[in-house]
Amino acid sequence: MRRWESAAIGALLGAFAVIHPAAAQVRGTIFGPGLRNYPIAIAPLAAREGSPADLATKFTDILGRDLTLSGQFRIVDREAHIEEAEPYTADAINFPNWSVIGALALVKGWYSLSGDTLSVEVRLFDVYQRRQIVGKRYNGGVGDLRRMAHRFADEIMAQLTGERGPFDSRIAFLSARGKGFKELYVMSLDGGDTKQLTNHRTINLSPAWSNDVRSLLYTSYRRRPALFSIDLTSSREKPIWQKAGVNVGGCYSPDGSMIALAVENDGNTDIVLLRPDGQLIRRLTDSYGQDLSPTWSPDGTQIAFTSDRSGRPQIYVVGVGGGEVQRVTSSGNENTSATWSPDGKRIAYVGRAGGTLNIFTTDPEGADVRQLTQSSGKNEEPSWSPDSRYIVFSSTRTGRQKLFVVDAATGASQVQLTVGDGDDSSPAWSRWLQ
């Protein structure tokens, strides 16, 4: 098998309520180039009715981490705060106390724990205009606190940039974690709730999310390289495709009605379409080259994939109904691992540049190519955030293979997500949770 080919194979929260309508004047405040590092203060939540004090800063720590990862905000140092957690209404807050420490926006709120029910009410204020922008109330268990913070981070991004943030989502990935074989894991973007899903002690490849974010497709070599799905709640697994040969890169169509999969037959690999139960619909490609790594366009009408039919691996696009194949990439002699952005505007891929592998994006016609990474080591396996603003990828820039996130428009704010022993690879970013 060729080197590039090996690499390619290589309790729901309660409903929330708007407390006050958003001020239309602030929408889009920090959206656009050059308007990053918007200063925002996040006060610890006030504890009500004898609630445990340890939750006061946990919510705000997670929220602050999310906003920092976005590359859009600068969190005002908590040590500089003059005002306490209370008060948390616009008519009682001393806004000059927040203005003097440089905050343009402010987050305050409270929480209460009654039995097993945690209630969090949190509000975003415009410090300059001295008024509330938006407020949300979340109900759930203590274990839901992290997701409450992620949801409010998304809300802050929506109010201050005009687009919902990507934080109420999950990232699936593979990791050895010191055990030799790469097993399947899932985590939030901040990594604070990482969970191991498999313990097969064999080769696992190419995780991909279902549309409802309740299960994953992946390839496992337990007997032969077969396609499986795993339910995240029950950890129950079932085989989808177990024919002889390498079966890798399975991914659901946007409406969930089909699966695209790279299937090997007599040494040649093509893209096929399956029903979710594994029944073959049709072979989509049929060339002498190796066709791998399918990715669906958001409207479900096209599939981009990697093929060496021209002599070296490049990115191509074909209609789901078949027909003429269009070449997308033309620069460089090795371009692989295409992934289509959820908004349909860009395709991310791995290209060899300057002697190493880096992350690029292009429009679906192959124009407006942008190189996002330039670091040493190998930068591979891109996957888009649900809002199409960020890309998670694996990189060996620190020695071990770890996951990083990058701004998909500019290449700025490259932040390491995973740490520790073992290599982390093959990230797959989900849609927003339901």
**Residue 210 sits in the same domain as residue 336:** yes
Q: Do 165 and 66 touch, CB atoms closer than 8 A?
A: yes
Predicted local distance difference test score (pLDDT) of residue 178: 65
Domain assignment present for 117:
yes
Instruction: Determine the structural domain holding residue 232 and report its residue range.
Output: 170-429
Does 409 score more than 50 pLDDT? yes
Q: Is 69 helix (H, G, I), strand (E, B) or coil?
A: helix
323 plus 193 within the same structural domain? yes
- pLDDT greater at residue 288 or residue 376: 288
Q: Is residue 11 part of a domain?
A: no
More confident residue, 314 or 28: 314
Ramachandran bin of 207, using left for φ above 0, alpha for ψ from -120 to 50, beta for the remaining angles: beta
356 pLDDT more than 70: yes
Q: What local confidence, expressed as pLDDT, does residue 413 receive?
A: 86
Q: Which of 141, 161, 181 represents a domain boundary (last residue)?
A: 161
The answer, yes or no, to whether residue 27 has pLDDT greater than 60, is no
For residues 425-431, average pLDDT? 98
The confidence band for 341, taking pLDDT boundaries of 50, 70 and 90, is: very high
What are the tens digits of pLDDT across the range 299-332?
999 999 999 998 999 999 999 998 899 999 998 8
pLDDT at 14 over 90: no
Reported residue count of the chain is 434
Q: Residue 119 belongs to a domain with what CATH number?
A: 3.40.50.10070
Dihedral sign computed on CA atoms, order 60, 63, 67, 68: positive
**Residue entry with tokens 């997701």:** 147
Residue 37 placed within a domain: yes
Domain count, the chain: 2
Residue 175 falls within a domain, yes or no?
yes
Mean pLDDT of the chain: 89
Read off the pLDDT band of 36 (50, 70, 90): low
- Mean pLDDT of all residues in 392-399: 95
Q: Is 362 helix (H, G, I), strand (E, B) or coil?
A: strand
Q: Which amino acid is at 231?
A: D
272 and 200 in a single domain? The answer is: yes
Task: Provide the token pair at 213.
Answer: 């974010």
19 pLDDT band (50/70/90 cuts)?
very low
pLDDT band with cut points at 50, 70 and 90 for residue 3: very low
Q: Is the model's pLDDT at 84 over the cut of 90?
A: no
Q: Given pLDDT bands bounded at 50, 70 and 90, which one contains residue 20?
A: very low
Token match 């990697």: residue? Answer: 306
174 with 155, same domain: the answer is no
Same domain, 205 and 284: yes
pLDDT of 367: 95
Task: Identify each DSSP E strand in 287-354 by its residue range.
Answer: 291-296, 302-307, 314-319, 326-327, 335-340, 347-353
Q: Is position 6 within any domain?
A: no
In 3-state terms, what secondary structure has residue 153? helix
Tens-place pLDDT, residues 179-198: 678 999 999 998 889 999 99
Does residue 192 sit in the same domain as residue 294?
yes
CA distances from 153 to 9, 60, 68, 80, 249 (A): 35, 10, 10, 22, 32
- 103 lies in some domain: yes
- 156 and 191 inside one domain: no
Residues 141 and 187 in one domain: no
What is the C-alpha separation between 73 and 36, in angstroms, rounded? Answer: 6
- Report yes or no on whether pTM surpasses 0.95: no
- State which of 131, 161, 191 marks the end of a domain: 161
- Residue 8 within a domain: no
Beta-carbon count within 10 A of 329 CB: 22
DSSP 65: H
Domain of 277, CATH number, reads: 2.120.10.30
Same domain, 388 and 415: yes
Domain finish residue from 105, 128, 161: 161
- In this prediction, residues 244-264 reach a mean pLDDT of 94
353 and 223 within one domain: yes
pLDDT at 64: 96
Q: Is 108 within 8 Å of 114 (Cβ atoms)?
A: no
**Would residue 419 count as lying in a domain?**
yes
Mean pLDDT of 215-228: 91
String of b and e for 130-141 (b: at least 16 CB within 10 Å)? bebbbbbbbbbe
For residues 418 and 348, state if they share a domain: yes
Mean pLDDT across 70-85: 93
φ and ψ at residue 200, rounded to 5 degrees: -90, -20
Question: Which segment of 18-22, 130-134, 275-279, 429-433 scores lowest on mean pLDDT?
Answer: 18-22
Q: Nearest Cα to 261, choosing from 276, 244, 274, 243?
A: 274
